[in-house]
């Protein structure tokens, strides 16, 4: 895909009035405080590349890599410039310069299909559970092999038990009268690192008259690929995934992962497809974040048991708050659960600095952004942190660990599932 053909670049470059509003909200600029790292610098770089005044060099690739794709700038820009889309276009143009072997390995082998993910999970679990990981950490040997490998080693959450997809039936029937057939997009990170969250998602949906179809042969949603400049792979995986749901005749598609649902909703369709394939067009407007689906489209079963009193706080993932405008729904779910007290943190909607694979390539910068977030969490006095994105969960979990804070990280749906189970236990006892 040539840079000139990307609509975001072709049509929007000239609209920048250089007002700097994007700068005031950019987490990267806040840390670096250098005009070269500001969102509008990305706009100019894209323009220079488009006009052939700037070549595809390692220096430009490094500059283009310094963006979380958090969309804060795109939301703020008075001219409506989707700066994040321009960064994605630029990264696609620069893709051949990407020599980050760890990321390439993950994108080309781990995050392509379910079989590859299963193999990667097996290797990772063996590595984490045999004591090799702590040995490797103590010796620092990975740092000698590759800087990125060393960082990935710190950031990747522990894998436990089996993959969620092994324990979820392809079709889970509604517990009451079926009202809707839901396609569950079980993303790679939830599948691998948060299997309980996936089981709770299915449990809550089936407890609310939904039949849940969870395909066993999904590919990654493609967000990590497009973020790293590989638009072709992202497009192929998107087509594959939608065809499965289309053929299965589901009514809607939901995901408990903010990144997956925003990717499926079409954050970057302009850059992936000239014309939307039929299967994708069919689902336009029928793809939901789980929190939003439960609040807006399900007559929620209110038979919720009393949980032990607990103070929780909620972090808004960028791909929910800025991509989808979902803020009140997860909070509504949490407020429904007896025993849960929700306390707001300062800057709940500010990026945690994870941004998928960003934290691997820019660990120190990412840590600075993360440390602000951890401080805000600590200030609330919350005992549990909630969020709706496995990538944020992983990044925040890493931050909590580094700060020796004993908080667990959960999705709001986990509280709902526990409250349903508690209600059942109470009925049996009485």
Residues that bind ligand SF4 (CB under 6 A): 16-22, 25-28, 39-40, 42-43, 67-73, 76-79, 81, 83-84
| Cβ proximity to ligand SF4, 16 vs 182, nearer residue | 16
| Cβ proximity to ligand SF4, 292 vs 319, nearer residue | 319
| Cβ proximity to ligand SF4, 98 vs 332, nearer residue | 98
Retrieve residue 55's tokens: 């070549």
| Cβ proximity to ligand SF4, 74 vs 380, nearer residue | 74
Q: C-beta of 48: minimal distance to ligand SF4 in Å? A: 15
Q: C-beta of 90: minimal distance to ligand SF4 in Å? A: 11
| CA separation for the pair 28, 33 (Å, rounded) | 8
Q: C-beta of 422: minimal distance to ligand SF4 in Å? A: 40
| CA separation for the pair 399, 392 (Å, rounded) | 10
| Cβ proximity to ligand SF4, 90 vs 334, nearer residue | 90
- Cβ neighbours of residue 78 closer than 8 Å, sequence gap 6 or more: 17, 19, 21
Q: C-beta of 234: minimal distance to ligand SF4 in Å? A: 18
Q: C-beta of 78: minimal distance to ligand SF4 in Å? A: 6
| Cβ proximity to ligand SF4, 67 vs 212, nearer residue | 67
Widest CA span in the chain: 76
| CA separation for the pair 103, 108 (Å, rounded) | 8
Q: C-beta of 37: minimal distance to ligand SF4 in Å? A: 8
| Cβ proximity to ligand SF4, 240 vs 368, nearer residue | 368
Instruction: Order the strands of the 384-387 sheet from edge to edge.
Output: 340-342, 310-315, 384-387, 408-410
| Cβ proximity to ligand SF4, 60 vs 250, nearer residue | 60
Q: C-beta of 227: minimal distance to ligand SF4 in Å? A: 11
Cβ neighbours, 10 Å, residue 15: 12
Q: C-beta of 62: minimal distance to ligand SF4 in Å? A: 14
Using only the alpha carbons of the chain, give its radius of gyration. 21
| Cβ proximity to ligand SF4, 70 vs 417, nearer residue | 70
Q: C-beta of 373: minimal distance to ligand SF4 in Å? A: 14
| Cβ proximity to ligand SF4, 43 vs 348, nearer residue | 43
Q: C-beta of 28: minimal distance to ligand SF4 in Å? A: 5
| Cβ proximity to ligand SF4, 67 vs 416, nearer residue | 67
- Cβ neighbours of residue 181 closer than 8 Å, sequence gap 6 or more: 210, 211, 213, 249, 250, 251
Q: C-beta of 277: minimal distance to ligand SF4 in Å? A: 27
């Amino acid at each position: 895909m040539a840079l000139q053909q990307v609509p975001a670049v072709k049509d929007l470059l000239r609209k920048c009035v250089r007002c700097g509003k994007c700068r005031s909200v950019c987490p990267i600029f806040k840390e670096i405080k250098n005009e070269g790292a500001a969102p509008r610098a990305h706009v100019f770089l894209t323009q220079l590349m488009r006009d052939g005044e700037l070549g595809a060099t390692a220096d430009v690739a490094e500059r283009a890599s310094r963006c979380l794709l958090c969309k804060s700038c795109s939301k703020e820009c008075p001219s409506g410039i989707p700066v994040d889309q321009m960064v994605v276009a630029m990264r696609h143009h620069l893709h051949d310069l990407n020599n980050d072997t760890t990321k390439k390995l993950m994108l080309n082998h781990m995050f392509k299909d379910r079989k590859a993910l299963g193999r990667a999970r097996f290797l990772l679990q063996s590595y984490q559970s045999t004591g090799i990981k702590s040995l490797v950490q103590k010796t620092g040997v990975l740092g000698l092999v590759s800087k990125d490998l060393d960082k990935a080693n710190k950031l990747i959450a522990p894998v436990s038990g089996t993959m969620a997809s092994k324990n979820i039936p392809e079709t889970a029937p509604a517990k009451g009268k079926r009202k809707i057939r839901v396609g569950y997009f079980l993303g790679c990170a939830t599948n691998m690192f948060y299997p309980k969250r996936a089981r709770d998602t299915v449990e809550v949906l089936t407890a609310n008259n939904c039949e849940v179809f969870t395909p066993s042969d999904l590919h990654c949603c493609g967000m990590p690929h497009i973020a790293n400049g590989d638009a072709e792979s992202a497009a192929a995986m998107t087509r594959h995934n939608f065809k499965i749901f289309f053929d299965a005749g589901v009514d809607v598609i939901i995901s408990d992962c903010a990144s997956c649902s925003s990717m499926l909703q079409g954050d970057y369709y302009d850059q992936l497809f000239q014309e939307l394939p039929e299967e994708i067009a069919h689902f336009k407007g029928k793809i939901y974040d789980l929190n939003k689906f439960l609040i807006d489209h399900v007559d929620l079963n209110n038979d919720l048991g009393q949980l032990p009193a607990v103070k929780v706080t909620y972090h808004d993932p960028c791909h929910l708050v800025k991509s989808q405008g979902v803020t009140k729904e997860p909070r509504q779910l949490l407020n429904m659960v007896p025993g849960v007290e929700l306390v707001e943190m300062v800057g709940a909607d500010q990026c945690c600095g994870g941004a998928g694979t960003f934290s691997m390539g820019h660990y120190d910068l990412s840590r600075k952004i993360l440390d602000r977030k951890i401080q805000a969490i600590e200030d609330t006095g919350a005992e549990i942190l909630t969020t709706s994105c496995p990538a944020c969960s992983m990044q925040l979990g890493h931050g909590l660990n580094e700060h020796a804070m004993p908080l667990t990280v959960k999705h709001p749906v986990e509280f709902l599932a526990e409250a349903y189970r508690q209600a059942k236990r109470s009925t049996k006892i009485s």
